[in-house]
C-alpha cells in the first residue's frame, strides 16, 4: 500500500459462476486475498448484473467489490482484474475507475 493521501473508490464486478454455471469460489478467494494484502481491504456485496448482447438478455449474480486506492495503483489493479477475469473464464470485465468512468474490458 502506498503512502499517498488521496484515495479513490474503484469498483470491480465478478460473477459468482462462470458462463457454464460453475461456481467461482476459488477465484473469489484469490481476489479477496490479493485485495486485502495489496490495498488493505475492500467492501463486497451481492447484486444482479443484467445486460443485452446481440438480442439475448443476460442475468447473473455478481459480487461487487469496492476498493480504495490511489490513481497510480489503478493500473496494477486493472492488470489483476483482467487476470481474475481470465481465471473466471469471462468474456469481459466491468470496472469503475478512480475518476468514476465505467470500463468494460474484453478478455
Tens of pLDDT, residues 11-35: 999 999 998 999 999 999 999 999 9
Q: Please check the confidence at residue 4 and state whether its pLDDT lies above 80.
A: no
Distances (CA, A) of 101 to 15, 19, 30, 77, 83: 20, 26, 25, 15, 20
In this predicted structure, what is the pLDDT of residue 19? 85
40-84 pLDDT per residue, tens: 999 999 999 998 888 989 899 999 999 999 999 999 999 999 999
Query: Residue 100 corresponds to which cell in the numbers above?
Result: 468514476
Query: Residue 73 corresponds to which cell in the numbers above?
Result: 495503483
Amino acid at each position: 500500500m502506498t503512502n499517498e493521501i488521496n484515495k479513490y473508490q474503484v469498483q470491480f464486478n465478478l460473477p459468482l459462476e462462470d458462463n457454464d454455471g460453475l461456481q467461482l469460489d476459488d477465484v473469489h478467494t484469490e481476489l479477496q486475498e490479493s485485495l486485502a494484502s495489496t490495498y488493505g481491504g475492500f467492501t463486497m456485496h451481492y447484486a444482479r448484473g443484467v445486460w443485452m448482447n446481440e438480442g439475448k438478455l443476460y442475468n447473473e449474480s455478481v459480487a461487487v467489490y469496492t476498493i480504495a486506492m490511489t490513481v497510480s495503483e489503478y493500473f496494477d489493479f486493472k492488470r489483476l482484474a483482467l487476470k481474475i477475469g481470465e481465471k473466471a473464464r469471462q468474456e469481459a470485465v466491468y470496472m469503475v475507475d478512480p475518476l468514476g468512468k465505467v470500463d468494460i474490458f474484453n478478455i
